């Protein structure tokens, strides 16, 4: 074989091997067996001096977060501030250059490197709601925590506003791990995540891809790709999905014409007496002083109508069976969404996975009811696996 042809083929196989998982032995076999057009490559000669010189390092892509955020400094949470923790606003960026806003909570008298947790959810909520409550409570229990607004929502950056993405929002969890891993007061080998409602599915998806995540809690979880593609209780068939895609793509055209994105509407302001219980359950949280927040998508005009398009084609939990780190799945016994957690748990493997069903609890009980949320169990779980 022509020497240059061999170099070209080896480089090609190295690239393929890194992409498709070829072992070095498989790569060597493929090199020996693959035909090479030596005539095509023989015309290029490498000068001897150049061949002996080490290659120049490849240029890197500079990090350029999208914007400087304006963060409110007042306490505008739907839960009271604890006097047992230190609180501050922070920002970090994800791999797509979107700047995310978060509240950081730390034990009041903490020293040294702490185990840390990143918290987000529910789907359509902001960090001033359920995720902030979880983060503050876990900080009281000795963890450094952040509750963040996902991309395109709340105080976080990203354009357009009020849209969700199975890819980017999974990335948001890993971006939070990036941030926590580089703090001087965090042990980078002791980082876990908590996902609530729709962000429970995002958290499992992140745990499947991010080996830095050592433990994951999914609380009252939704699998958003499943519910958007199949409807509640898997009631939508292929014909129904096709009609939904037609409607969503027609909406894309209208949005482009109008230069703006139509909103789907959040939780209704008025609930009919015969509405399903889970709709009343959401109303009781998002539309009352219990949980209403001005920046919450669900409390107001809702997501952009076309949000469902990417979720329908991109199943979140495809590789959940490959999660090696510890997982605790928590759900209410009476929650309409319980089947999401039970199905996801069946896919998990290993003796470090646990499903905890809370007797009598409904979906939003695990948003904010501190006498129902099993914080002692969550604390023990993270203490066990973040060490």
pLDDT of residue 346: 98
Percent of the chain predicted with pLDDT > 90: 81
Alpha-carbon distance values, 317 to 250, 311, 322, 349 (Å): 28, 11, 10, 13
Confidence of residue 97 (pLDDT cuts 50, 70, 90): very high
Tell me the percentage of the chain whose pLDDT exceeds 70: 86
Residues 106 and 167 reside in one and the same domain = yes
3-state secondary structure of 333: coil
Contact 190, 223 (CB under 8 A): no
Domains held by the chain: number? 2
Q: Residue 312: helix, strand or coil by DSSP?
A: helix
Q: Give the mean pLDDT of the chain.
A: 89
Query: Is the domain of 206 the same as that of 324?
Result: yes
| Tokens of residue 232, six digits | 């509640």
Whether residue 161 is contained in a domain is answered as yes
pLDDT of residue 212: 98
Q: What is the pLDDT of residues 368-385, one digit of tens each?
A: 999 999 999 999 999 999
Does 159 reside within a domain?
A: yes
- Domain check: are 101 and 144 in the same one? yes
Q: Looking at the structure, do residues 218 and 338 belong to the same domain, yes or no?
A: yes
Please tell me the distance from the alpha carbon of residue 196 to that of residue 208, in angstroms, as a whole number. Answer: 17
Note whether 92 and 47 are same-domain residues.
no
SS3 state at 242: helix
Structural domain boundaries, residue 178: 85-223+289-302+316-385
Residue 64, C-beta contacts closer than 8 angstroms, at least 6 positions apart: 97
Residue 268 lies in a domain: no
Residues 99 and 216 in one domain: yes
Residue 176 is part of a domain; what is its CATH number?
3.40.50.1820
The pTM score is 0.86
Question: Is there a domain that residue 372 lies in?
Answer: yes
Q: Does residue 113 sit in the same domain as residue 218?
A: yes
State which of 36, 52, 68 marks the end of a domain: 52
In a domain, 74, yes or no: no
Do both 193 and 333 map to the same domain? Answer: yes
- Interval 138-166 mean pLDDT: 97
For position 385, what pLDDT does the model report? 98
Query: What is the Cα–Cα distance from 256 to 260, expressed in whole angstroms?
Result: 7
């Amino acid at each position: 074989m022509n020497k240059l042809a061999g170099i070209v083929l080896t480089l090609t196989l190295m690239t393929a091997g890194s992409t498709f998982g070829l072992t070095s032995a498989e790569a060597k076999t493929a090199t020996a067996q693959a035909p090479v057009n030596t005539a095509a490559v023989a015309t290029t000669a490498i000068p001897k001096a150049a061949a002996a010189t080490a290659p120049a390092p490849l240029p890197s892509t500079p990090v350029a977060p999208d914007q400087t955020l304006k963060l409110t400094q007042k306490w505008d949470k739907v839960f009271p501030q604890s006097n047992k923790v230190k609180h501050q606003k922070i920002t970090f960026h994800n791999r797509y250059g979107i700047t995310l806003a978060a509240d950081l909570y730390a034990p009041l008298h903490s020293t040294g490197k702490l185990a840390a947790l990143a918290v987000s959810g529910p789907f359509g909520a902001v960090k001033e709601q359920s995720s902030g409550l979880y983060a503050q409570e876990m900080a009281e229990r000795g963890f450094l925590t952040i509750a963040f607004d996902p991309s395109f929502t709340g105080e976080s950056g990203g354009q357009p506003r009020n849209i969700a993405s199975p890819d980017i929002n999974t990335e948001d969890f890993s971006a939070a791990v990036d941030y926590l891993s580089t703090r001087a007061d965090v042990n980078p080998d002791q980082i876990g995540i908590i996902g609530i409602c729709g962000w429970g599915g995002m958290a499992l998806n992140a745990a499947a891809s991010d080996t830095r995540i050592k433990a994951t809690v999914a609380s009252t979880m939704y699998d958003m790709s499943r519910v958007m593609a199949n409807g509640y209780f898997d009631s939508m068939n292929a014909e129904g999905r096709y009609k939904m895609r037609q409607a969503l793509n027609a909406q894309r055209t209208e949005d482009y014409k109008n230069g703006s994105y139509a909103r789907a509407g959040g939780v209704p302001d008025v609930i009919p007496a015969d509405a399903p219980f889970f709709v009343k359950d959401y109303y009781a949280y998002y539309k009352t002083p219990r949980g209403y927040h001005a920046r919450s998508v669900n409390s107001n005009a809702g997501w952009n109508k076309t949000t469902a398009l990417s979720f329908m084609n991109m199943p979140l939990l495809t590789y959940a069976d490959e999660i090696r780190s510890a997982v605790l799945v928590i759900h209410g016994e009476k929650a309409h969404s319980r089947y999401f957690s039970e199905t996801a748990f069946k896919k998990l493997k290993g003796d470090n996975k646990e499903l905890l069903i809370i007797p009598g609890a409904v979906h939003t009980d695990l948003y904010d009811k501190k006498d129902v949320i099993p914080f002692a169990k969550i604390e023990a779980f993270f203490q066990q696996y973040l060490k």
